[in-house]
Amino acid sequence: MVVLVTGASGQLGQALQAIAPKHSTLQFHFASSAEADITNKENLQEVFNRLKPDFCINAAAYTAVDKAESEPEKAHLVNVTGAKNLAEVCKEYNTTLVHVSTDFVFDGNKNMPYTEEDETNPQGVYGKTKREGEQEIEKILAAHYIIRTSWLYSEYGNNFMKTMIRLGKERDALSVVNDQTGTPTNANNLAEAILQIIESGKKEYGTYHYSNEGVATWYDFAKKIFEFNTISVDVKPITTTDYPTPAKRPVYSVLDKSKIKTTFNLQISDWEKALDSFTE
């Protein structure tokens, strides 16, 4: 099976490249945005015509949550138009699309894990464009998996874990928000889950939630990052109001993984155990 990965130079794209050699039944083609620009439908058609992919994993997205508030057109171009283009080209070439989405499609007002059936209500430009992208795919292409994830981190790209390690080595004290609750997700674990879905041969299309197991605040996450990397730094808990950002974050965005675990027989690691695999 030929698997095309768009956004291959991003965090998830690089995680997929790292684990690809373990999946010898799949023939991967990793395309950066320069090769496969999801905002350019003609370009996508050329790539699909050449590769004839059975699956396309869309790891390309506009993910600058705060910047999106001042660049709504750019976020829309990638997250909505890009998703629509991919869905149309996948339909044309009989390709199954695996599209990665986000917990930001929810408003965060719930106090129980969000299921796939819960009503979406994104609060910022990033979340709104990601939800609109999901809706375009749902309208156009039956053969799709939309996988919502949260708090993604890895050794690649820019993410909370790498920022904390860098700041922890530079400073004696740090303040981290302690009133936003969710679950960190190891990008390698997400990549493995996606490939397990592809290799399952099942056609249980639709929307799924995936993160590691457990619950944490950003403060909890930071404390564990420093503990596992033996970095000595004084971490102070603060509130969201102490650290205002252009985009509103969900106060609570824990995802219910029951559906993906049951459908694809996935075993999911606790977030602390998953994080421990990234110790330096």
Task: Give the β-pairing of 96-102 and 144-149.
Answer: parallel
Give dist(CA 19, CA 23) in Å, integer.
7
On whether the CB atoms of residues 174 and 216 are closer than 8 A, the answer is no
Report residue 277's pLDDT band, with 50, 70 and 90 as the boundaries. Answer: confident
Looking at residue 159, its pLDDT comes to 95
Give dist(CA 254, CA 68) in Å, integer.
23
On whether the CB atoms of residues 255 and 208 are closer than 8 A, the answer is no
Tens digits of per-residue pLDDT, 262-276?
999 999 999 999 999
Give dist(CA 33, CA 29) in Å, integer.
13
On whether the CB atoms of residues 250 and 193 are closer than 8 A, the answer is no
Rounded to the nearest 10°, the torsion over CA 3, 7, 9, 12 is -80
On whether the CB atoms of residues 214 and 269 are closer than 8 A, the answer is no
Is 12 a residue whose pLDDT tops 70?
A: yes
Is 126 a residue of the active site?
yes
Looking at residue 279, its pLDDT comes to 62
126, 208, 210, 252: the active-site residue: 126
Q: What's the whole-model pTM score?
A: 0.96
- The class (CATH top level) of 2-158+184-215+253-270 is alpha beta
Is 8 a residue whose pLDDT tops 80?
A: yes
Residue closest to 38 by CA, chosen among 97, 103, 96, 82: 82
Is 280 a residue whose pLDDT tops 60?
A: no
Give dist(CA 78, CA 111) in Å, integer.
31
